[in-house]
């Protein structure tokens, strides 16, 4: 849902306080370590690592921290943790479907944290498969808008497997199948466009429209989940109108 993407963009701008920046840094560093461990420590030969490093640099993570995480992941330096990805499923207030992606070195702690934060904020965990059937993993590449039009972006990626282009305000978001992400990215670069981020996301096939009050409850729950060191990403099927997004942006 592009509404969710716009919400995430708005929320990112608001999350400028030091505590949240610290959490964000830790998550980005963890992603670099995992990418280096999975695909090797050379960014030119490991597109996922290259994308994670770009994302960390855009968030102003110090270069020293980025480099140490890359070396820990690739084994050039000791001290890398044995990270494990776990996906939890559940429902938030107003029946919003949620998928909570954890990257943890302690499965029991992650489960306890997620369950506690869900129940304290009007959500509840569900069995595996309860909501995941509504979601599909997608490749996402965002490009700086500048003087570009939606048609410019669409023409550049038409033959690279792009499924849709969304206008998110300051950036365009190109959605594709995960296996086409690198082809889409290459096509955009070839057209001279500035890539902001490339990665993957989960998108829901069925949206849950929310009013301002409902959106604020979900935002509170997501904030609580993201405060956990084990939680990397939270995906929902909430659908927000421009009016609701504007109200959330005002706080």
Q: State whether 114 and 175 are in the same domain.
A: no
Q: pTM of this prediction?
A: 0.87
pLDDT of residue 8: 65
Q: State whether 56 and 120 are in the same domain.
A: no
165 found inside a domain:
yes
At 30, list the tokens. Answer: 């963890």
d(CA 54, CA 164): 23
18 found inside a domain:
yes
> How many distinct structural domains can be found in the chain?
3
64 found inside a domain:
yes
Q: State whether 219 and 190 are in the same domain.
A: no
Q: State whether 151 and 189 are in the same domain.
A: yes
Q: State whether 47 and 95 are in the same domain.
A: no
Q: State whether 213 and 128 are in the same domain.
A: yes
Q: State whether 70 and 191 are in the same domain.
A: no
Residue 50: CATH number of its domain? 1.10.10.200
237 found inside a domain:
yes
142 found inside a domain:
yes
Residue 171: CATH number of its domain? 3.30.70.980
- A 10 A CB-CB count for 154 gives 14
| Whether 106 contacts 94, CB under 8 Å | no
Which residue, 142, 136, 115, 147, is CA-closest to 228?
A: 115
Q: State whether 69 and 9 are in the same domain.
A: yes
Q: State whether 235 and 127 are in the same domain.
A: yes
79 found inside a domain:
no
Q: State whether 63 and 170 are in the same domain.
A: no
At 173, list the tokens. Answer: 């978001």
Which residue, 35, 54, 55, is CA-closest to 45?
A: 35
Which are the contacts of 247, defined by CB distance < 8 A and separation ≥ 6? 212, 215
Max distance between CA atoms of the chain, in angstroms, equals 50
Q: State whether 69 and 7 are in the same domain.
A: yes
88 found inside a domain:
yes
Which are the contacts of 57, defined by CB distance < 8 A and separation ≥ 6? 63, 66
In tens digits, the chain (251 residues) has pLDDT values of 445 666 666 565 555 566 677 888 999 999 999 999 999 999 999 999 999 999 999 888 999 999 999 999 999 988 777 899 999 999 999 999 999 999 999 999 999 999 999 999 999 999 999 999 999 999 999 999 999 999 999 999 999 999 999 998 889 999 999 999 999 999 999 999 999 989 889 999 999 999 999 999 999 999 999 999 999 999 999 998 889 888 888 76
Q: State whether 95 and 215 are in the same domain.
A: yes
- Can you give the residue range of the structural domain that contains 193? 136-204
pLDDT (tens digit, 9 = 90+) per residue, 91-123? Answer: 999 999 999 999 999 999 999 999 999 999 999
Instruction: Taking the CA atoms of 55, 11, 138 and 122 in sequence, report the sign of the dihedral they define.
Output: positive
- A 10 A CB-CB count for 39 gives 17
């Amino acid at each position: 849902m592009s509404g969710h993407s716009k919400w995430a963009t708005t929320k990112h701008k608001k999350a400028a306080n030091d505590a949240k920046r610290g959490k964000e840094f830790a998550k980005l560093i963890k992603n670099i370590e995992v990418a280096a461990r999975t695909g090797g420590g050379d960014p030119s030969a490991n597109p996922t690592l290259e994308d994670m490093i770009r994302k960390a640099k855009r968030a102003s993570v110090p270069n020293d921290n980025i480099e140490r995480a890359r070396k820990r992941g690739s084994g050039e330096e000791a001290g890398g943790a044995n990270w494990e990805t776990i996906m939890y499923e559940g429902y938030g207030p107003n029946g919003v479907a949620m998928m909570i992606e954890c990257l943890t070195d302690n499965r029991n702690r992650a489960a306890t944290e997620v369950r506690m934060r869900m129940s304290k904020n009007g959500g509840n965990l569900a069995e595996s498969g309860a909501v995941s059937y509504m979601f599909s993993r997608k490749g996402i590449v965002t490009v700086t808008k500048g003087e570009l039009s939606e048609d410019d972006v669409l023409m550049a990626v038409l033959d690279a497997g792009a499924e849709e282009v969304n206008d998110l305000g300051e950036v365009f978001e190109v959605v594709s199948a995960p296996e086409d992400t690198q082809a889409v990215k290459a096509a955009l670069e070839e057209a001279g466009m500035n890539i902001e981020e490339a990665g993957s996301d989960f998108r829901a096939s069925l949206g849950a429209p929310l009013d301002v009050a409902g959106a604020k409850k979900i935002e509170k729950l997501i904030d609580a989940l993201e405060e956990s060191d084990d939680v990397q990403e939270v995906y929902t099927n909430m659908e927000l109108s421009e009016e609701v997004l504007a109200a959330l942006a005002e706080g």
